[in-house]
């Protein structure tokens, strides 16, 4: 195998069995099929959201209910041009269909700010995610580094610029609704973000030879404020609200965005709004594409509840910066990964010890036999 091919999933997706680095522990594996859809996550039309004396109130109520229940909902009639969405999707598919060498020209391993990478860039993770991604850091605009934006296929940079601007607008609108629901001024949440960051992550999940053993993207909550996810009609996004005991697969809806609240929104609302606990599963029938647009606060923005309701205790001990919140989250995740690895090694050691004991036992029995026979 050429070294380049070995670094993408193109080759591994053609194998009969799954490479061991993608095999998850049993308790992490998918429990529900990628296409066993649930309609528990509400689909909310935003038509009329600006009519203050009209539908706005009703829309806000639905959004708030979904945020309290799941931290997830879907929006339609959101005003983002479908042609632009179709163009983003087409270009993304074309990129992932490029030969491995072409994709790896934008390789972002080694802490580069944007580009192409397989699996995830979290170091210390022992099991890989079954996905390839392209990351665009799109806001703040002044920090854009276009040298890290894949310029193949032609037109992708333009489409991504348009797309990220339109989605920033939509996220802003939703944040206004959430601010009002909290009894804050309209700009309450966006002010708390200081200067909004945005990154666009294009996820490509190839067909997988043994999808029951792995995940496209392991269980997590998004760290930021609000994520807008565009997904195709294949299915694979799953959510849980009982700590992973039961899962639902979110029904793909044509022309919709899935809206996920992240940790930042959870903390700012003192836990009133859930941070969506989710993962992505893969399958052996179809490849899948999703585009996640993350709106995050500035690294130096303060993370602390904006409102603590009567009788509630703050969910945080002290105000910290978003950078610090993120750092703690990552080190906690790594610690969990490390503990799991250790537990696994200990378990293997236990099995090894047991085998050794059994062998000793067996040997003792064999050696003891003549003695027994003598005594018999
Ligand atoms: C993400 C994410 C889900 C999906 O990128 O953070 O949760 O279905 N993606 O791709
Ligand atoms: Ni996510």
DSSP letters, 35-58, are T-EE--S-EEE-TTTT-TTTTHHH
What would the mean pLDDT of 23-48 be, rounded to a whole number?
96
pTM for the predicted model, two decimal places: 0.90
Lowest mean pLDDT among 3-17, 22-36, 169-183, 280-294: 3-17
CB atoms within 10 A of CB 221: 18
pLDDT of residue 365: 67
CA distance 13 to 287: 10
> Is 203:290 a contact under the CB 8 Å cutoff?
yes
Closest residue to atom 8 of ligand 1, CA basis: 237
| Domains within the chain, CATH numbers bracketed | 9-317 (2.60.120.330)
**pLDDT tens for residues 301-356?**
999 999 998 899 999 999 999 999 999 999 988 888 788 778 878 887 888 888 88
CA 132–ligand 1 middle distance (angstroms):
12
DSSP 333-347: HHHHHHHHHHHHHHH
Give, as one character, the DSSP assignment of residue 271: T
Instruction: Report whether pLDDT(375) > 90.
Output: no
CA 217–ligand 1 middle distance (angstroms):
7
**pLDDT tens for residues 89-148?**
999 999 999 999 999 999 988 778 899 998 874 566 789 999 999 999 999 999 999 999
pLDDT of residue 352: 82
CA 206–ligand 2 middle distance (angstroms):
18
- Residue 201 CB less than 6 A away from ligand 1: yes
CA distance 129 to 219: 10
Please identify, by atom number, the ligand 1 atom nearest to the C-alpha of residue 278: 7
Lowest mean pLDDT among 158-162, 241-245, 345-349: 345-349
What would the mean pLDDT of 213-225 be, rounded to a whole number?
96
Lowest mean pLDDT among 195-199, 275-279, 328-332: 328-332
pLDDT of residue 4: 54
Task: Ligand 1 pocket test: pick from 205, 278, 286, 294 the residue with the most ligand atoms within 8 Å of its Cβ.
Answer: 278
**Residue showing tokens 């270009």:** 91
pLDDT of residue 368: 56
At 374, the pLDDT band (50, 70, 90 cuts) reads very low
Give phi and psi for 116, each to the nearest 5: -100, 140
Instruction: Report whether pLDDT(370) > 70.
Output: no
What would the mean pLDDT of 282-286 be, rounded to a whole number?
97
pLDDT of residue 101: 92
At 359, the pLDDT band (50, 70, 90 cuts) reads confident
Ligand nearest to the CA of 131: 1
As a whole number, the mean pLDDT across the chain is: 91
What would the mean pLDDT of 271-298 be, rounded to a whole number?
98
pLDDT of residue 95: 96
What would the mean pLDDT of 286-306 be, rounded to a whole number?
98
**Residue showing tokens 């903390």:** 267
- What percent of the chain clears pLDDT 70, i.e. is strictly above it? 94
- For the record, the structure tokens of 85 come out as 């969405």
Ligand nearest to the CA of 200: 1
Please identify, by atom number, the ligand 1 atom nearest to the C-alpha of residue 294: 6
């Amino acid at each position: 195998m050429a070294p380049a091919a070995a670094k993408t999933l193109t080759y591994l997706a053609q194998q009969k069995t799954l490479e061991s680095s993608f095999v998850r522990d049993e308790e992490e594996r998918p429990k529900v099929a990628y296409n066993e859809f649930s309609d528990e996550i509400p689909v909310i039309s935003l038509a009329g959201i600006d009519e203050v004396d009209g539908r706005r109130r009703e829309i806000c109520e639905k959004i708030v209910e979904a945020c309290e229940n799941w931290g997830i909902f879907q929006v339609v009639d959101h005003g983002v041009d479908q042609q632009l969405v179709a163009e983003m999707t087409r270009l993304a598919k074309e990129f992932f269909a490029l030969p491995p060498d072409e994709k790896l020209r934008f390789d972002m391993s080694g802490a580069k700010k944007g580009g192409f990478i397989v699996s995830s860039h979290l170091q210390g993770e022992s099991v890989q995610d079954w996905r390839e991604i392209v990351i665009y850091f799109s806001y703040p605009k002044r920090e854009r580094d276009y040298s890290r934006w894949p310029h193949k296929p032609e037109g992708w940079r333009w489409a991504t610029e348009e797309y990220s601007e339109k989605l920033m607008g939509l996220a802003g609108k939703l944040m206004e609704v959430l601010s009002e629901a909290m009894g804050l001024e309209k700009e309450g949440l966006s002010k708390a973000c200081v200067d909004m960051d945005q990154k666009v992550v294009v996820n490509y999940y190839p067909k997988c030879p043994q999808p029951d053993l792995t995940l496209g993207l392991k269980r997590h909550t998004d760290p930021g404020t609000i994520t807008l996810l565009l997904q195709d009609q294949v299915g694979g996004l799953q959510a849980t609200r009982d700590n992973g005991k039961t899962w639902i697969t979110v029904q793909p809806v044509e022309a919709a965005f899935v809206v996920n609240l992240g940790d930042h929104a959870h903390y700012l609302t003192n836990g009133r709004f859930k941070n969506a606990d989710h993962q992505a599963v893969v399958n052996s029938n179809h490849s899948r594409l999703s585009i996640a647009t993350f709106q995050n606060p500035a690294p130096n923005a303060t993370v602390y509840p904006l409102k603590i309701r009567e009788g509630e205790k703050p969910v945080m001990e002290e105000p910290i910066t978003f950078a610090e919140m993120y750092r703690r989250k990552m080190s906690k995740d790594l610690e969990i990964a490390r503990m799991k690895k250790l537990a696994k090694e200990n378990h293997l050691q236990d099995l090894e010890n047991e085998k050794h004991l059994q062998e000793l036992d067996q040997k003792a029995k064999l050696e003891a036999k003549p003695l027994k026979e003598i005594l018999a």
